[in-house]
Chains A and B, each alone.
Chain A
Amino acid sequence: MNRLDFVDVLPVSQSYKRKSDLSSFEYSYKAEITSVYSLTDTEKLYQIRIVDSEQRNHFTFKPGQFVMLELPGIGEGPFSISSSPTRHGDIELCIRAVGNMTKFLSKVPRGTQVGISGPFGTSFPVEEMENSDLLLIAGGLGIVPLRAPLFSVLENRSRYKQIDIIYGARNPSELLFTYQYQMWRQFDINLEIIVDQADADWQGPVGLITEILKKRIEAAGNDLSKNTYAIVCGPPVMFHFVCDMLINAQLPMQKIFVSLERRMHCGRGKCCRCNIGATYTCLDGPVFDYWSVLNMKEAI
């Protein structure tokens, strides 16, 4: 009478994670928020360390990938890793307090234990970009996913040629990572910042990000066809304008990379919340080249 035996699919020891293991589905690393910096009124930079040292050292990610951050009992959400890949499981996440979970997170003290799973998704091909000029274009929170490839590039500065960062924000008080601008410039990076609305202290240019980009493209003789890569991150409306300008300047579309935002509930290609058409942003993205973006309906 026991012909149908119970088949247990999970091994007894829920060890860790390979993508193909059934135990990787609900596995999260225990991590600790080691410090919190307030960057603006709404954004904070969280330094998060995986508690177990072996797991921490084994944790590797590529620039552009994201993690699912879990606050037990509160919620879970996807966040781009904003720190250098060489720092393994000592990661930095820059998070705007805007939803239930992120507002709760903005109030927790350092030392709080959180869950981290991942890394998930595709990355910016920083190695393929070597020996080229780089255009990093960010609008608003878009600077956050862009910071990981930026760190990679800074750590290998000799392998890249001219690097431009064009960063736009609504107003000066919303600029992120202001304390690092000096350092970036010391690495021989042209950092141009533009705001929509200036305040009394603002010395820089006022307007849209496309104005700076236009000057940069003109300086290159309206021809970006050779040896240039671009990374574009920002609000959906920005992609159209910026990417069109780059295409018009003859930058091949497979050399333009974007990072897309979508709602996600699993990060593992199951819940379908992040689907664009039927492309899972969590598996095939968040980093797409512009050809893939054009090839997907309703992507931007």
Chain B
Amino acid sequence: MLFKVFPRNELETLYDVLAGYHLVGPQVRAKDRGGQDIFAFDYIHSFAELRLDFTSTVHSLKRFLLPPRENLSSFNLDNSGWEKNVDLGIYKPHVFFGLHPCDINALNKLDKVLTGSVYPDPFYTGKRKNMFIIGVNCSPQPWCFCKSMGTDTVLSGFDMFLTDLGDKYFVEIQSAIAYDILMELPIAEPTETDHRRFVELMDERNSKFSCQVDNSDLTKILDLEFQSPVWQEWGKKCMSCGTCANVCPTCYCYGVKEYVDLDLAGATKQRHLYSCNLIDFAMVSGGHNFRPESSDRLKYRYYHKHRGFQEAYEESLCVGCGRCGQACLAGITVPDVIDSVRRQEVSK
């Protein structure tokens, strides 16, 4: 990996170089009841909107890759039959300016399933291939447990990665295009002082992670405690609303529906993101539900993230961003659930 530095006030130059593309970044959306900024990923129209000092966004950037609703194909219908058309719906490369390591790791994890060797998803892959990613280091929040999930740093899946050294940005470069773009800025080789400052900052950041999850032997524990009454307790709390999946950067489950146009001349096949917590997730025609209770579904959610994905790809599907816990109406958080399964009791 190549490392460079550029003066802090040149960030706007970098923005200007990329401003001709669809540029998505963190921006302030509103204030919460405590007066804190609420951030969101959205299209940025001026440099002033871009807030690289953001804490965490409520939603992940999933809507740019896996939109809540997406047309898979359309049909022209007539009396003799039909023609199917597939439209990937991507027209322009997107620049994602300011992704935290957890969100980049989330993309890397999604890639394993969605761009894999068996039935790669062209809709996701198409968007993914047209992404230019600028990562930025974060300041750990009280709900972040990415350190426990091993996703507090990121080694791949970005074009360049920025760390604020105070008067300059330290930049890790991972693609030729990124290097080419940086040539427009007065970049310099990092000095010994920059190296030390970078390491100091990383140490300081590491000391700030306050939320932890004990993942040791978790796959086995989840198997052992599959019938545990702890799940029933969480099932009673869970409202099966699916908010956790909505905000999760790695939840990719979906359902497919088809719609006929009012004039009967066409039809659309649409997929909509779904949540395994919703009651009919595993219900088959005829009415049999393979997971009828909210506890079954909540357990499955954890089982898929922390056990199944681990089995398939040697890593957890959870990146520890803590969004689900922040958004959950019942206050269910991943660290609490995993802790209770380990200890076999639910704290009140």
When distances are taken between beta carbons in the complex, the residues of chain B under 8 Å from A5 are 93
Please tell me which one of the listed residues B132, B304, B308 contacts residue A4 in the complex, with CB atoms under 8 A apart.
B132
B226 within 8 A of A: yes
Residues of A within 8 A of B283 (CB): 263
Q: Is A82 an interface residue (CB 8 A)?
A: no
- Tell me the complex Cα distance, A273–B258, Å: 17
> Does B347 count as interface, using CB distance less than 8 angstroms?
no
- Surface stretch bound by B, among A72-80, A146-154, A156-164: A72-80
A171 at the interface (CB under 8 A from B): no
Q: Which of A77, A262, A298 has the most CB of B within 10 A?
A: A298
Is B47 located at the chain interface by the 8 A CB criterion? no
Query: Hey, which chain A residues are within 8 Å of B257, CB to CB?
Result: 75
Residues of B within 8 A of A96 (CB): 286
Q: Which of B84, B290, B303: most chain A Cβ within 10 A?
A: B290
The reply on B207 being an interface residue by CB < 8 A is: no
| Docked complex Cα distance between A26 and B284 (Å) | 23
Decide yes or no: A277 and B308 within 8 Å by CB, A262-B282, A272-B253 being known contacts.
Answer: yes
In the complex, chain A residues 253-300 whose Cβ is within 8 Å of any chain B Cβ: 261-263, 265-266, 268-273, 275, 277-279, 283, 297-298
Contact B118 A269, beta carbon cutoff 8 Å:
yes
Instruction: Pick the contact of A277: B91, B118, B252, B304 (CB < 8 A).
Output: B304
| Contact yes or no, B119 A25, CB < 8 A | yes
Residue of B nearest to A260 (CB): B290
Q: Does B180 contact A (CB under 8 A)?
A: yes
User: Cβ of A269: which chain B residues have Cβ within 8 Å of it?
Assistant: 113, 118-119
Evaluate whether A3 and B75 lie within 8 angstroms (CB atoms) in the complex, with A9-B88, A14-B86, A270-B254 already known: no
**Do the beta carbons of B267 and A73 come within 8 Å of each other?**
yes
| B48 in contact (CB, < 8 A) | no
Q: A236 at the A/B interface (Cβ < 8 Å)? A: yes
Nearest B residue to A274 via CB reads: B282
Q: A69 CB to closest chain B CB, in angstroms?
A: 12
Which of A15-23, A125-133, A189-197, A203-211 makes up part of the contact surface? A15-23
Q: A4-B95, A99-B286, A263-B283 are in contact. Are A272 and B304 (CB under 8 A)?
A: yes
Q: Is the CB of A273 within 8 A of B303?
A: no
Q: Which residues of A contact B84 (CB under 8 A)?
A: 26, 28, 72, 115
Contact across chains for A76 and B258 when beta carbons are under 8 A apart: yes
Q: What distance in Å separates the Cβ of B113 from its nearest Cβ neighbour in chain A?
A: 7
Answer whether A73 and B125 are a contact pair too, CB < 8 Å, given A19-B119, A269-B118, A272-B252.
Answer: no
Q: Is B199 an interface residue (CB 8 A)?
A: no
Contact A20 B120, CB 8 Å, known A3-B177, A98-B285, A270-B114: yes
Q: Is A102 an interface residue (CB 8 A)?
A: yes
Residue of B nearest to A297 (CB): B226
Of the residues B113, B125, B253, B260, contact of A9 by C-beta under 8 Å: B125
A7 at the interface (CB under 8 A from B): yes
Task: Give CA–CA (A6, B93) in the complex, Å.
Answer: 6
Interface presence of B165 (CB below 8 A): no
Which of the four size classes fits the interface of chain B? 35 or more
How many A residues touch the partner, as a band? 35 or more
Contact of A72 with B75 in the complex, beta carbons under 8 Å:
yes
Within 8 A of B (CB), among A22-76: 22-26, 28, 30, 70-76
**Smallest Cβ distance from A104 to chain B, in angstroms?**
11
Q: Is the CB of A7 within 8 A of B130?
A: yes
A265 pairs with B254, CB closer than 8 A: yes
- A123 sits at the interface (CB 8 A): no
Q: A73-B260, A275-B300 are in contact. Are A283 and B118 (CB under 8 A)?
A: yes
Given A7-B130, A9-B122, A262-B284, the answer on whether A272 and B309 have CB atoms closer than 8 Å is no
Q: Is B121 an interface residue (CB 8 A)?
A: yes
**Which chain B residues (65-86) contact chain A, with CB distance < 8 Å?**
72-73, 75, 77, 81-82, 84, 86
Chain A contacts of B258 at CB under 8 A?
Answer: 70-76
Q: Which of A10, A113, A277 contacts B122 (CB 8 A)?
A: A10
| Distance of A10 Cα from B86 Cα, bound (Å) | 10
Q: How far in angstroms is the closest Cβ of chain B from A114?
A: 9
- Is B7 part of the contact surface with A, judged by Cβ < 8 Å? no
A38 to B252 alpha-carbon distance, docked (Å): 39
Cα–Cα, bound, A5→B226 (Å)? 49
A100 and chain B: residue at smallest CB distance = B285
Residues of chain B touching chain A, judged by Cβ–Cβ distance below 8 Å, are 20-21, 72-73, 75, 77, 81-82, 84, 86, 88, 90-93, 95, 113-114, 117-123, 125-126, 129-130, 132, 177, 180-181, 223, 226, 252-260, 267-269, 271, 274, 276, 281-286, 288, 290-291, 296, 300, 303-304, 307-309, 311-312
Given A19-B119, A22-B120, A271-B274: 10 more A-B contacts, CB < 8 Å: A10-B122, A19-B118, A76-B269, A98-B286, A265-B256, A269-B113, A269-B118, A275-B276, A278-B304, A298-B226
A-B contact pairs, 6 of them (CB 8 A): A7-B130, A96-B286, A113-B81, A262-B290, A272-B254, A283-B118
